[in-house]
Amino acid sequence: MVVSAMTDTPLDPTSLPLQPIAPDSSVRRFTKTFPTKLPPEVLWTEFTRTLSDSREGVLWANNISWIHALNAPLREGTVLAERMEPTGAVLHYRLMEFSPPKQLRYASLQGHPLAASATVSIEASEGGATLLWQGEYFGSETQLLGLDRIHAAFFSRFATQLQQLEAAR
């Protein structure tokens, strides 16, 4: 059995099933597009480095949450643990698809307050690349309103971090 410092529990998050969608859930879909002058391979490398451990990467909004892989290296089946600030709540996700250097897909695991899945893809564009982050969350309207606030802050910070990375290159 694995004991994770991020979970502070003897539960092995890698064995958790996906979080089921409650029958009375509402849905919130999102699409975020981040164009950049970074080459696609650099964007993929920086994004996946950040998922492996956001304290070592540069793209994550660490003031909102931090994330790391519990069973690195990143691959299909890897479990990510996200610690939310300031509460310290830990949310778990599993990589359902990992197709370097183009795309990954993740889904929330049991114990997450929302059933969620999202795809992050990176496409070459003229003079750089575009990161496309699309997903959907299922939960109560109250939960989804909270998610809206977190997403607004997170994706704003993510865009800022991406611009800083681009400027530093």
CATH number of residue 91's parent domain:
3.30.530.20
Place of tokens 């704003």: 156
Cis peptide before 17 (omega within 30 of 0): no
87 lies in some domain: yes
The total domain count for the chain is 1
23 DSSP 8-state letter: T
Q: Quick check: 138 and 116 in contact, CB under 8 A?
A: yes
Q: Quick check: 90 and 83 in contact, CB under 8 A?
A: yes
Which segments of the chain have a pLDDT < 50?
1-7, 9
Q: Cα separation of 72 and 66, whole Å?
A: 16
pLDDT at res. 6 = 47
**Selection from 60, 106, 78 nearest residue 13 by Cα:** 78
pLDDT at res. 11 = 66
52 lies in some domain: yes
58 alpha-carbon distance from chain centroid: 14
162 lies in some domain: yes
For 84-103, how does the pLDDT look when each residue is reduced to its tens digit (9 = 90+)? Answer: 998 999 999 999 999 999 99
81 lies in some domain: yes
Place of tokens 């910070």: 157
Quote the domain boundaries for residue 68: 27-168
18 lies in some domain: no
105 lies in some domain: yes
151 lies in some domain: yes
12 lies in some domain: no
- Identity at 20, one-letter amino acid code: P
